[in-house]
Chains A and B, each alone.
Chain A
């Protein structure tokens, strides 16, 4: 089949989305779907507006953003540092290999009991839980990216007097592994949003808590407003990240 032009592709995608919304709206109005379980799409903008002028929207989004950013920053930084170190220092790799294998399958949310015991029910606990998922993604991405660097580059570095550890780290390992490391960072940005909501479900103020409140009142429209809020924030962060990534990797053909 013929490939589509870019604008044509966007047009069809927009049609698909609008078609879905119309189908949804019509099914509800026709009584095919129960109105108590699913909100009307056309009611969403009004509800969003109400949340906005109430100030609730800003309050919960800011609160979520604050643990999100702390958790993602911490998890990424640690994940990349440990992953790169493990890939470069065989002794360190061996030292923590079994420990990593033991801890890695534990889902971030399984840390909630400890998070509460260590930090209490407060934003630090949420940031801690978010950082765990983000850590593993960045750890594995940067570990395998650095391991995959062509050893020939290291030989070049040594041949041209850049053989000591720090020079090789900054002049070979990090730039050569940058595509993989950035891929991990990006996946971590997404993973962070997944845990942010879950981490807030146990009472830390933020988007997740607001959604739980709303679902208790069967206010499905408010739930959808925050689902869309997360989607929108994710898209925004991803867009900004991609712009930065393109700049960093502009050497790629």
Chain B
């Protein structure tokens, strides 16, 4: 966002990381620095390693090479990072509110504070009155929103989102994209947002990191980082919007499907 001073210390540093499974490296040489409240989108073809990159950045799957640093900070009632997964992954044996409280357990909070901290983000995603429901009684879009509330509840410095809207129908997706564009102005968190939808990336992000370039045994890498640099309000209608999308499409190229023919 424009209001962020460049001098503010980064909330995430990743230096030259490589990641993969076993001896197989799928993504190499990724550098990423995220400033407070910044919104970075990561785009790339299916299977390029976007989900794996998030798992490497968070330490869920330690990188093969390089370092990631997410400064922990002093606070005992927040977490440094949290995550919205590609599927909602709510615990079906917990009610909605208890699901949102998951990350708050073990923090220095009283029971009442925990409850309040869970209801706040639930209200933000418009699901306050669903707090005492079982997840199985919610629609897919509502479950995804609970997943977002769960991630927001811990007031993370960095919020990772892995294609949070890709499993949803077009109408719900549009709606939630709008909510997220809104939300990013009301939350303290920086957001690292994975998507294969380039329009979505340009719509929401300050910067778009484009992954690709895998050829044979050479792992994929960062092709370019594109500054979006458009106002957030009515961005989709902005004259430059389509140009930005096209520029990124051009960077990614025809994709593996076309290359194979």
Contact = CB atoms under 8 A, between A and B. Distances in A.
Q: Do A and B bind each other?
A: yes
B87 A159 contact: no
Interface stretch (B77-85, B171-179, B206-214, B235-243): B77-85
Nearest to A179: B93
B91 to A, nearest CB: 7
A182 B85 CA distance: 30
A251 B60 contact: no
Contact of B134 (A157, A171, A251): A251
Contacts of B85: 152, 155-156
A160 interface: yes
Interface residues of B, number: 23
Contacts of B82: 159-160
B92 interface: yes
Interface string B58-99: 101000000000000000000100110101010111110000
Nearest to B86: A152
A183 interface: no
Top 8 nearest A-B pairs (CB, nearest first) are: A160-B103, A253-B136, A175-B93, A159-B83, A251-B93, A160-B102, A251-B134, A156-B89
Contacts of A250: 134
Nearest to A160: B103
B105 A162 contact: yes
B60 A253 contact: no
Contacts, number: 60
B106 interface: yes
Contacts of B60: 155, 158-159
B26 interface: no
Interface centre among A161, A250, A252 (most CB of B within 10 A): A161
B220 interface: no
B103 to A, nearest CB: 4
By size class, the interface of chain A is: 20 to 34
A149 to B, nearest CB: 11
Contacts of B218: none
Contact of A159 (B58, B93, B107): B58
Given A251-B93, A253-B137, 7 more contacts: A152-B87, A157-B102, A159-B82, A160-B82, A161-B105, A162-B105, A176-B91
Interface in A132-191: 152-153, 155-162, 167, 171-172, 175-176, 178
Contacts of A153: 89, 91
B155 interface: no
Given A159-B58, A159-B60, A160-B150, A178 B93 contact: yes
Contacts of B19: none
Interface string B100-141: 001101110000000000000000000000000010110000
Contacts of A176: 91, 93
A138 B227 CA distance: 58
Interface centre among A155, A157, A167 (most CB of B within 10 A): A155
Nearest to B160: A159
A161 B93 contact: no
